[in-house]
Amino acid sequence: MSSDSIATDRTSVTLAVLVVEDEAIIRMLLVEELKDTGLVVVEADGADGAMAILGDGAAIGLVVTDVRMPGSTDGLGLAAWMREHAPGVPIVITSGFSTPPDCQAINPAIIRVVSKPYKPRDVVNLLAALLAPMAQLSGPSQ
């Protein structure tokens, strides 16, 4: 799978997947699986770092975030922040809660909740399915 791109008049902007996970091993495994598919991946170890990346205007096409993380807010707080600051960016929430939170009220851009533990390959396959329509809409990269 190739990177998701948005064709513009003169340039093509590659959109990255932002992985937000405080557990380094889980983050590393998911990031490597995503990179192996050819995607551009940006990492953050918490919501504070993710908000800084998104606030700096990075070309992020999709966010995968854990719920429970240290810092000033958690993954649900990040999703709520994104509703105002990055409203068009889809979000996949990963959760170790036995009953995943009802996320649609927090941010309609939340498109899936994935229960932990998960296999990184399963998340990669989900993201591939979610990104495919975006890639088709954007056309070939230049």
User: Residues 74-121: pLDDT tens digits?
Assistant: 999 999 999 999 998 999 999 887 666 677 778 888 888 898 899 999
**Count helices and strands in the chain by DSSP H and E runs:** 4, 7
Separation of alpha carbons 25 and 46, rounded Å: 14
Whether domain 21-131 has CATH 3.40.50.300: no
Q: Could you read off the pLDDT of 30-77 as tens digits, one per residue? A: 999 999 988 899 999 999 999 999 999 999 999 999 999 999 999 999
Parse the chain into domains and list their residue ranges.
21-131
Q: Answer yes or no: is pLDDT of 9 > 50.
A: no
pLDDT value of position 104:
73
Q: Any idea which residue has 């192996």 for tokens?
A: 36
What pTM did the predictor assign?
A: 0.82
